[in-house]
A and B are shown apart, each in its own frame.
Chain A
């Protein structure tokens, strides 16, 4: 490279400045494709979405500016509040329960099963928990929809065979039960992810900690509380935040299993905005819902970013 070759002959401080600034400017070309893509696919559409949210727009004709009216209407819309209430339920199903279960299962596999029965047994069990993670969510949805089917689905036929026919329900068709039925599917999907992450985390914990605790006569449960939970704190935080972001974005399971129903008993923000866009074509209103959702997710993501910068390096995906 010519610049650095000639630079070696000049004075030291000038060399450094000249060298880097010229060297850097040439690198701009390499970010151009990414930048153009970002503008076209993210920045401009996001700006347009914000603009739509300030308008009355039915998908045809021109958007008519109405200021903050859509947002005002949102605050008084019970459906909007219901959708965010359901988001809380899905945070429980996708973030809190899988994290709690995952941490215990990972610790048992790593510190109990693995030393007693060998690491092969532990990895095999881990793989069985992970398997649902490989499915496209749409496929998982179809599978569970079939199992929940009220007449011939396996859950109800099994209950009837056990003489518990009274417990058989229209799982996805009952507005009181549907949300729990969907939550159940999501827990099934998510456990594998948390188990694998926490087991990876445990593999970096110094075994001497456990050995010392063992010598002091600590029970397994005491070791879990004092060592495992403490050592896994970074993983737990990151997993909780990323899965919460995913829970706020949840769409496909709802679309496949219930389409937000029965009634509006499983509606979530993502589905609510989708149906405004493409079913009722209240585009401006849907855009306002999507903007509020984006804001909420950004708040959670910033929490993640701050946490990670505090822990110097290391990052996780925050996608849904």
Chain B
């Protein structure tokens, strides 16, 4: 139910979704049908093409590339470019950093969102409209307008160049969005359920833990997935606040690659592939969640 209403509010601001019972009536395909299909498939191939050539060239020996160019399929599999890149930037370390940071941010941000949304959506505290407007400000504001003070503050607090600092900052920023999202879901929470819990003598915290939490779990799963992936992809704040190589995330490590990798024609393909792989894993793991919640904002 929770996910349903999340989808509804996100997708259709005006009309409730009409029951989609489309009859699969196959009209005559005709020549025009095939032409259009070929055209769209062509566009699809263009979209996928960069992925394809990154994959084939990541395993291509450099002399092969120089002789036959990037389009040809490699005659033999050569892992050296990938191995060089992996070892050269200590990619295992970056993966670990990204997993730790994204995982912590997702957990903390969802917890913060739930607490705030509980007060706003269920508690209907006074001034909630203004509080929500402020939270909305938090995720629309460009991070450039926060970054220098955050740099100064984390430095003074000893949190500069620590994962803790980045986790706290990103968790708060993302929970602003989560609060916004969850508040409206909780705002439509069936009042009779809450009333029943109260009559049974449940405290506020018990209502949160035993009634609200289980019923909103699907929504929170969507939010957590998004927080994880947003954090994984995040670039600006981790770039500024985690300068040392030991703390870098995957995104920043790739984005900040210097000239050393541009002389060798297959090195950047290997680097791209290393960046694509985890993203692809998430896509396969979370595909349904992603497509369901895409309206949450894949604009990043």
A residues in contact (CB < 8 Å) with B = 1, 4-5, 23-24, 26-31, 33-35, 37-38, 40-42, 44-46, 48-49, 52, 105, 108-109, 112-119, 121, 125, 128-139, 141-147, 149, 152-154, 157-158, 161, 188, 191-193, 196-197, 200-201, 203-207, 234-235, 238, 242-243, 245-246, 248-249, 251-252, 255-256, 269-270, 273-274, 277-278, 283, 286-287, 289-291, 293-294, 297-298, 301, 305, 308, 311-320
Q: Which residues of A contact B137 (CB under 8 A)?
A: 42, 298
Contact among A37, A112, A118 with B172 in the assembled complex (CB-CB below 8 Å): A37
B235 touches A136 (CB 8 A): yes
* Beta-carbon nearest neighbor of A294 in chain B: B145
Shortest Cβ distance from residue B13 to the other chain A in the assembled complex, whole angstroms: 3
Contact mask for chain B residues 43-72; partner A; CB cutoff 8 A; 1 contact, 0 none: 111011011011000000000011001110
CA of A301 to CA of B50 in the docked complex: distance in angstroms? 33
Shortest Cβ distance from residue A139 to the other chain B in the assembled complex, whole angstroms: 3
A147 touches B294 (CB 8 A): no
A158 touches B71 (CB 8 A): yes
A136 touches B149 (CB 8 A): no
- Residue B189 is within 8 A (CB to CB) of chain A in the complex: no
In residues 255-300 of chain B, which contact A (Cβ within 8 Å)? 255, 257, 262, 265, 268-269, 271-272, 275-276, 279-280, 282-283, 290-291, 294-300
Tell me the dominant secondary structure on chain A's binding face.
helix
Whether A41 touches B172, Cβ cut-off 8 Å, given contacts A49-B149, A242-B297, A290-B144, is yes
Shortest Cβ distance from residue A190 to the other chain B in the assembled complex, whole angstroms: 8
Whether A42 touches B33, Cβ cut-off 8 Å, given contacts A157-B70, A204-B11, is no
Of A193, A301, A313, A319, most B-chain CB atoms within 10 Å: A319
B148 touches A49 (CB 8 A): yes
Shortest Cβ distance from residue B278 to the other chain A in the assembled complex, whole angstroms: 9
Whether A204 touches B146, Cβ cut-off 8 Å, given contacts A27-B119, A30-B123, A320-B299, is no
A283 touches B70 (CB 8 A): no
Whether A41 touches B255, Cβ cut-off 8 Å, given contacts A117-B37, A131-B48, is no
A26 touches B204 (CB 8 A): yes
Shortest Cβ distance from residue A316 to the other chain B in the assembled complex, whole angstroms: 6
A108 touches B24 (CB 8 A): no
Q: Which residues of A contact B136 (CB under 8 A)?
A: 301, 305, 318
B300 touches A115 (CB 8 A): no
Q: Which residues of A contact B118 (CB under 8 A)?
A: 27, 30
CA of A318 to CA of B298 in the docked complex: distance in angstroms? 10
B144 touches A274 (CB 8 A): yes
The A/B interface has a contact count, at CB < 8 Å, of 371
Of B134, B262, B295, most A-chain CB atoms within 10 Å: B295
A31 touches B116 (CB 8 A): yes
Q: Which residues of B contact A235 (CB under 8 A)?
A: 11
Q: Which residues of B contact A131 (CB under 8 A)?
A: 47-48, 51, 283
- Residue B120 is within 8 A (CB to CB) of chain A in the complex: yes
Contact among B10, B204, B275 with A27 in the assembled complex (CB-CB below 8 Å): B204
Interface residues on B, range: 35 or more
- Residue B83 is within 8 A (CB to CB) of chain A in the complex: no
| Other 9 A-B pairs with CB < 8 A, given A128-B48, A200-B11, A249-B143 | A37-B171, A117-B37, A118-B24, A133-B298, A136-B232, A139-B276, A251-B235, A274-B144, A294-B142
A128 touches B140 (CB 8 A): no
Q: Which residues of B contact A130 (CB under 8 A)?
A: 291
B115 touches A297 (CB 8 A): no
CA of A295 to CA of B251 in the docked complex: distance in angstroms? 28
In residues 101-149 of chain B, which contact A (Cβ within 8 Å)? 112-113, 115-116, 118-120, 122-126, 131, 133-149
A234 touches B70 (CB 8 A): no
Whether A116 touches B29, Cβ cut-off 8 Å, given contacts A131-B51, A138-B255, A294-B145, is yes
Q: Which residues of A contact B125 (CB under 8 A)?
A: 24, 27-28, 31
Question: Which 6 A-B residue pairs are closest in the complex by CB-CB distance?
Answer: A317-B297, A27-B123, A314-B13, A138-B255, A139-B275, A45-B149
Shortest Cβ distance from residue B36 to the other chain A in the assembled complex, whole angstroms: 6
A315 touches B180 (CB 8 A): yes
Contact among A30, A35, A141, A293 with B144 in the assembled complex (CB-CB below 8 Å): A293
B119 touches A37 (CB 8 A): no
Whether A108 touches B36, Cβ cut-off 8 Å, given contacts A135-B275, A206-B18, A314-B9, is yes
CA of A197 to CA of B147 in the docked complex: distance in angstroms? 31
Q: Which residues of B contact A132 (CB under 8 A)?
A: 47, 50
Q: Which residues of B contact A40 (CB under 8 A)?
A: 153, 172
Q: Which residues of A contact B126 (CB under 8 A)?
A: 24
Q: List 20 A-B contacts (CB under 8 A).
A: A26-B204, A27-B123, A31-B125, A41-B172, A44-B153, A116-B33, A129-B47, A134-B282, A138-B275, A141-B254, A143-B272, A149-B265, A152-B65, A197-B11, A201-B12, A204-B11, A204-B17, A252-B235, A252-B251, A314-B8
- Residue B247 is within 8 A (CB to CB) of chain A in the complex: no
B251 touches A33 (CB 8 A): no
Q: Which residues of A contact B233 (CB under 8 A)?
A: 135-138
A152 touches B70 (CB 8 A): yes
CA of A23 to CA of B194 in the docked complex: distance in angstroms? 12
Shortest Cβ distance from residue A38 to the other chain B in the assembled complex, whole angstroms: 6
B297 touches A316 (CB 8 A): yes
- Residue B41 is within 8 A (CB to CB) of chain A in the complex: yes
B14 touches A234 (CB 8 A): yes
Contact among B112, B283, B294, B299 with A34 in the assembled complex (CB-CB below 8 Å): B112
Q: Which residues of A contact B276 (CB under 8 A)?
A: 135, 139, 143
A146 touches B300 (CB 8 A): no
